[in-house]
Amino acid sequence: MSTRTALGARTLDGKYYTSPAVYDLETERIFFKRWLYAGRSSRLSGPGSYFVFEVDGESVIILLDGSNRVRAFHNTCRHRGTQLCSQAEGRFSKSIQCCYHAWTYALDGSLIGAPNMDEVAGFDKADYPLLEVAVAVWEGGVFVNLDPAAEQFEEAYAPLIGKFQQWRLAELQVAHEIVYDVAANWKLVVQNYSECYHCPGLHPALNRLSPYRNSTNDLEEGPFLGGPMRLAQDGGSMTMSGRTCAPTLGDVSGEDKNLIYYYTIFPNLLLSLHPDYVLVHQIQRLAPDRTRIVCQWLFHPDAVAQADFDASDAVEFWNMTNKQDWEVSEMSQRGIASRAYRPGPYAELESMIATWDRQYLEVVGGCSEGT
């Protein structure tokens, strides 16, 4: 790991937080091209179970087929384009049927029923399957890529494959979820997560548990960034009490029991790995100045099954911290929208933001003053 430095970088131009044109450019060059975190695979339970993932006007059905294989399809009938699913999640019996003209698809996406289409010369059901979306399951999460020429997930995520195996993420279950609506650009949420320069003033409780200078980074370039912060008290955790609220996860041992690992996974996932639980923030863009954040607390099922299990110590801590972050992100959004805003210099403690900005600009195209 190198010495932390922001390399003299400055914050992004205001247009990157306020411009509808930039927002649309992000849609095309990032959210329609990159692997996106869609949700936990545990939302699927048995053949026919599904949930719908929405991104920038596109709707994707994610389901388990008859062989319990995860598949993803555009939520669009091949007849006249009618959406097939209007519910956020549910279960198909043995097929998917359009409510408009009853075109019917098997769970593998093949068209198996098209009333009266035998009257159409040359019509072949094999020519009209549902349009597939690239899908992958990694560490208990489902990821999709809307690009027909998508890079293989294993290649795109090579720096992370196997990195978190000691937490056994795939085994964990969602014990609690809170959805936040934040009046700020999605990048402000990511950038706030990427530094603790603000922690002494904004998060006194967090800073007591893990002092802001107790951090290092083990991923310092590219789409995946972050690393560990050391707890002030050995054997503790990020909770209101400072104590763990569940047994140590998986194979976490040694010094990892005294560290919290924080990672930004470009573009829409924030992953926080604690000794006793894992925190996931899924980022959903809604507008240049509005972001929905789905925050989930993951624990091992054995811990959740205990009669005395109580996640509130962790939930209350991060709900408090989240609200502090969202409030300052909204204040940043309002300030950046001012005609008086000019890019300012990053502190060395904000080196991960400067790195994230470089990755963002490389992908979306464009330039920012001072970078």
Distance of CA 87 to the CA centre of its chain: 21
- Asked if 42 contacts 173 with a C-beta cutoff of 8 angstroms, the reply is yes
Nearest CA to 222 out of 128, 124, 331, 362 is that of 362
pTM of the full structure: 0.95
162: left (phi over 0), alpha (psi -120 to 50) or beta: left
Q: Which CATH superfamily is domain 36-156 in?
A: Rieske [2Fe-2S] iron-sulphur domain (2.102.10.10)
Sorted by sequence, the CB contacts under 8 Å of residue 313 that are 6+ apart come out as 239, 240, 241, 243, 245
Looking at residue 7, what is its pLDDT? 86
Looking at residue 215, what is its pLDDT? 85
CATH 2.102.10.10 domain residues, the chain:
36-156
Per residue of the chain (371 residues), give pLDDT as tens. 446 788 899 999 999 999 999 999 999 999 999 999 999 999 999 999 999 999 999 999 999 999 999 999 999 999 999 999 999 999 999 999 999 999 999 999 999 999 999 999 999 999 999 999 999 999 999 999 999 999 999 999 999 999 999 999 999 999 999 999 999 999 999 999 999 999 999 999 999 999 998 889 999 999 999 999 999 999 999 999 999 999 999 999 999 999 999 999 999 999 999 999 999 999 999 999 999 999 999 999 999 999 999 999 999 999 999 999 999 999 999 999 999 999 999 999 999 999 999 999 999 986 444 33
Looking at residue 1, what is its pLDDT? 42
Residue 276 φ/ψ, nearest 5 degrees: -115, -10
Looking at residue 3, what is its pLDDT? 63
Domain 15-21+166-364 has CATH 3.90.380.10: yes
CATH 3.90.380.10 domain residues, the chain:
15-21+166-364
Looking at residue 371, what is its pLDDT? 33
Per DSSP, helices labelled H in 108-242 are: 153-156, 186-193, 199-202, 204-209
Residue 357 φ/ψ, nearest 5 degrees: -60, -40
Separation CA 52–CA 73 (nearest Å): 10
